[in-house]
Amino acid sequence: MPAKRLPIACALVLSLPSPPVHAVVPEAAADARARATEQQMTDAERFSLVWGLMPMGFDGKRDPRVPPDAVPSAGYVPGVPRLGVPALRETDGSLGVTNPSGFRPGDTATALPAGLALGATFHPALAHEAGALVGREARARGFNVLLGGGVNLARDPRNGRNFEYYSEDPLLSAAMGSEAIRGTQAEGVISTIKHYSLNDNESNRHQLDAIIDPAAHRESDLLAFQLAIERSGPGAVMAAYNQVNGVYACGNAYLLNGVLKGAWGYPGWVMSDWGAVHDWTYALAGLDQESGAQLDAKIWFDQPLRAAYAAGRLPKSRLSDMVRRILRSIYAIGLDQPRPAPAIAPERHHATALEVARQGIVLLKNQGALPLANGKQRIAVIGGQAHLGVLSGGGSSLVTPPGGFAAVVPIGGEGNMAALRNQYFVPSSPLTELRKLLPDASIRYDAGAFPAEAAALARRSDVAIVFAIRHESEEFDSPDMSLPFGQAALIEAVARANPNTLVVLETGNPVEMPWRGQVKAILEAWFPGEAGGQAIAEVLTGRVNPSGRLPMTFPVDQAQLPRPRLPGLGTPYGAPVTVRYQEGAEVGYRWYTLTGATPLFPFGHGLSYTSFAYRDFTVSAGEALSASFTVQNVGPRAGADVPQVYLTAAPEGKRARLLGFERVELRPGEARRVTVPLDPRLLARFDSKAGRWRLAKGTYRLALGKNATELVQAAHLTMDSRLFGH
Ligand code: BGC
């Protein structure tokens, strides 16, 4: 379709979006109360708030310093009962309430799909519901702090923790992360936002030094944090394990005192990641609380910090500030208020997990093979333990689902998290669910262990569906983008035996697909959570019309990546590693625009069983900046679309950036006019010298697209030059 130019002559008067109200108690009141309480404290009480322990056992024994009322979990900080300050009872995580090492026997929780699945929904309201669900389940167990809100950008498709995060894009990650945080905090539970910043690779994360240009950092990972923090007001920020430009994130004065508390005016507290503190001086750099302190070489914020205080090296004002920040979040989110225990409706929570999985599944390719018809056909289901369940990621975010895991297959490895590097199967079997939805079909299962055996079954079937899985785990990057355990060869053998072969991927990252031309359809189901098998079966059979869109670019292979070789690959556990993020802010789809390479599947891509048309794309300037368009369902079925607005060029040249999006559900023939707000920071560049955002004078070209590369309509804006914000 030819690009349509809409000249807009006026210069803009830009106003930044005003931060929404997110605190339960007005900010000023929370600040005043925090000041008043802190003033009444003894120094011993002050120091008791600035470090916490893991209230669970090591070597099977409980730490004697942990009081008996602490619920076994990730973190505990005692309260000050005489002043009504509650203890902080902290649990992971973003994908559901965790039960590390099964320390709370029999305690299972709703296991949500991966963060990437939620990101793929492009549906912030669903993220809100997911965040609220975890908040309720946390509070029902006595927790009042959720270690959630992972908004690190998925920069590298080999990063072992991408499955916990939302996307490669700052706007999408902030839109989803902020709603999850708001949902949690509306339940009276503080949420963190984490891991600040650039913990974007896992290999040797404790030694990792992330090198980046500071302006590019502001326009990428830090922009995701900035947008999410101002939209949701998380009570705490968790600083990361790694170094940023040579300084550990937990002791990084530029990141903590400078950007977070200075430029952004963040009023809450900064806690460390678990085992990420290396010195008491981190308190001077802006760290307010040491977490999981047994994991550090010393409890730096206990004796060493007291000694520094006694010697006058930690000013009294700084100690008071650390404590006040913690207290103000407690008051702002209402942790000190009596609240009845929430009534949990497990079926409702299961329904939310199902809905996230449904909306997050992305149909990548479909040559008329899907949806499957319900008839007397022979279907071969092959591999991926599809008879047992669906895969989940490993690490601190791991949730034990109702009924426990269907199977746990140890992978092994070195380091602190090796015991959690397993294939975890959540008991929602795609095979069982397909049989329910296709009662007239004859469905046979083959484990996929031997390609020849699987091919033999495929040959005598009408359709073959291969389930391909790839485990991911905290602290482990994958060495490359392949499917492990010979699954590519399995897919190729099956596809040779049956031209009607479909592939369902359960992965926490993009994978390479050398076999893509030989199969009829490809579905990315991510780690789809406790209702994942049902959601996959519903999409395959057309009960659910797929609407997920890729939150990460799928490269053809790793030669297309900014770092074709994974930094630190093959070095022993604990070896120093430097990751040079030389792509700067040009992460994901922006890298492909810059290099001109064509990815396998672009960011924002996802097919449907119906089709959509766009018209009347306009942009409007004035008090606020916005884009409007009409989207219509022009196909035969009801479905949801996600039209996306991109910047395609700025005055200085070509530049790709997601500016806005909206998930729209439409009946056949139905049309809707949509307006999305545009944040001027997404058009601007960060000027490090001025410490402000800079808009250059000239023409900005925008496009309405189906994804980052399929752009359907164009418009443009003319702007005056301007410095704004921080
Ligand atoms: C992770 C954090 C987590 C913490 C507590 C760390 O290993 O990086 O995301 O919140 O453990 O479990």
Mean pLDDT across the stretch 73-93? 97
Query: Closest ligand 1 atom, CA of 395?
Result: 7
- The pLDDT of residue 65 is 85
CA of 76 relative to ligand 1 center, distance in Å: 13
The pLDDT confidence band at residue 94, using thresholds 50, 70 and 90, is very high
Query: Closest ligand 1 atom, CA of 100?
Result: 12
Encoding tokens for residue 58? 């090591």
92 C-beta closer than 6 A to ligand 1: yes
pLDDT tens digits for range 254-269: 999 999 999 999 999 9
219 C-beta closer than 6 A to ligand 1: no
Mean pLDDT across the stretch 451-457? 98
CA of 273 relative to ligand 1 center, distance in Å: 6
Higher pLDDT, 434 or 102: 434
Query: Which residue's CA is the nearest one to ligand 1's atom 4?
Result: 274
Q: Quick count: other Cβ atoms within 10 Å of Cβ 43?
A: 12
The pLDDT confidence band at residue 26, using thresholds 50, 70 and 90, is confident
What amino acid occupies position 685? Answer: R
250 C-beta closer than 6 A to ligand 1: no
- The pLDDT of residue 67 is 86
Q: What are phi and psi of 150, to 5 degrees?
A: -75, 110
Q: What are phi and psi of 145, to 5 degrees?
A: -135, 125
Q: Which residues contact 381 (CB under 8 A, 6 or more apart)?
A: 387, 430, 431, 434, 443, 444, 445, 446, 465, 467
- Calpha distance 302→281 (Å, rounded): 12
Residue 17 scores a pLDDT above 50: no
Q: Where are the beta strands (DSSP E) in 592-697?
A: 612-620, 625-633, 639-641, 644-650, 653-661, 664-666, 671-678, 685-687, 692-695
Query: Which residue's CA is the nearest one to ligand 1's atom 11?
Result: 274
Within 13 Å, how many C-alpha atoms sit on residue 64's CB side?
Answer: 0
Residues taking part in catalysis: 273
Percent of the residues in the chain that have a pLDDT greater than 90, as a whole number: 91
Q: What is the CA radius of gyration of the chain?
A: 25
What's the burial of 690, exposed, middle or buried (CB within 10 Å: 0-12/13-18/19+)?
exposed
Query: Closest ligand 1 atom, CA of 194?
Result: 9
Task: Tell me which long-range contacts 447-452 makes (C-beta under 8 A, separation of at least 24).
Answer: 447/382, 447/383, 447/385, 448/382, 448/383, 448/384, 448/487, 448/490, 451/486, 451/489, 451/490, 451/492, 451/493, 451/494, 452/493
CA of 630 relative to ligand 1 center, distance in Å: 43
Query: Which residue's CA is the nearest one to ligand 1's atom 3?
Result: 396
74 C-beta closer than 6 A to ligand 1: yes
Percent of the residues in the chain that have a pLDDT greater than 70, as a whole number: 96
Angle at 287 (CA atoms; ends 285, 289), nearest 5 degrees: 155
What does the mean pLDDT of the chain come to?
A: 95
Is residue 268 within 8 Å of 331, Cβ to Cβ? Answer: no
549 C-beta closer than 6 A to ligand 1: no
- Least confident interval from 19-33, 214-228, 443-457: 19-33
CA of 148 relative to ligand 1 center, distance in Å: 9
Query: Which residue's CA is the nearest one to ligand 1's atom 5?
Result: 74
274 C-beta closer than 6 A to ligand 1: yes
- The pLDDT of residue 14 is 32
Residue 4 scores a pLDDT above 60: no
- The pLDDT of residue 365 is 98
Query: Closest ligand 1 atom, CA of 240?
Result: 8
pLDDT tens digits for range 126-169: 999 999 999 999 999 999 999 999 999 999 999 999 999 999 99
641 C-beta closer than 6 A to ligand 1: no
What's the burial of 328, exposed, middle or buried (CB within 10 Å: 0-12/13-18/19+)?
buried
Is residue 583 within 8 Å of 553, Cβ to Cβ? Answer: no
Is residue 686 within 8 Å of 657, Cβ to Cβ? Answer: no
CA of 244 relative to ligand 1 center, distance in Å: 18
- The pLDDT of residue 416 is 86
422 C-beta closer than 6 A to ligand 1: no
- The pLDDT of residue 66 is 86
Within 13 Å, how many C-alpha atoms sit on residue 630's CB side?
Answer: 7
pLDDT tens digits for range 695-710: 999 999 999 999 999 9
- Calpha distance 498→714 (Å, rounded): 43
- The pLDDT of residue 129 is 98
Query: 162: phi > 0 → left, psi -120 to 50 → alpha, else beta; which?
Result: alpha
Helical H segments across 334-450, by residue range: 346-360, 430-437
Query: Which residue's CA is the nearest one to ligand 1's atom 2?
Result: 273
DSSP at 259: I
Within 13 Å, how many C-alpha atoms sit on residue 279's CB side?
Answer: 11
- Calpha distance 233→390 (Å, rounded): 34
DSSP at 620: E
CA of 73 relative to ligand 1 center, distance in Å: 11
- The pLDDT of residue 60 is 64
Mutate to test the pocket of ligand 1, among 88, 89, 92 (most ligand atoms within 8 A of CB): 92
194 C-beta closer than 6 A to ligand 1: yes
Residue 363 scores a pLDDT above 90: yes
- The pLDDT of residue 373 is 92
Query: Which residue's CA is the nearest one to ligand 1's atom 8?
Result: 273
Encoding tokens for residue 379? 């279907």
Query: Closest ligand 1 atom, CA of 417?
Result: 7
Q: 683 in helix, strand or coil?
A: coil
Query: Which residue's CA is the nearest one to ligand 1's atom 6?
Result: 274
Mean pLDDT across the stretch 259-282? 98
- The pLDDT of residue 58 is 67
Q: Please, which residues bridge with residue 140 across strands?
A: none
202 C-beta closer than 6 A to ligand 1: no
Query: 448: phi > 0 → left, psi -120 to 50 → alpha, else beta; which?
Result: left
Encoding tokens for residue 693? 């955002």
- The pLDDT of residue 465 is 99
147 C-beta closer than 6 A to ligand 1: yes
- Calpha distance 407→393 (Å, rounded): 13
CA of 274 relative to ligand 1 center, distance in Å: 6
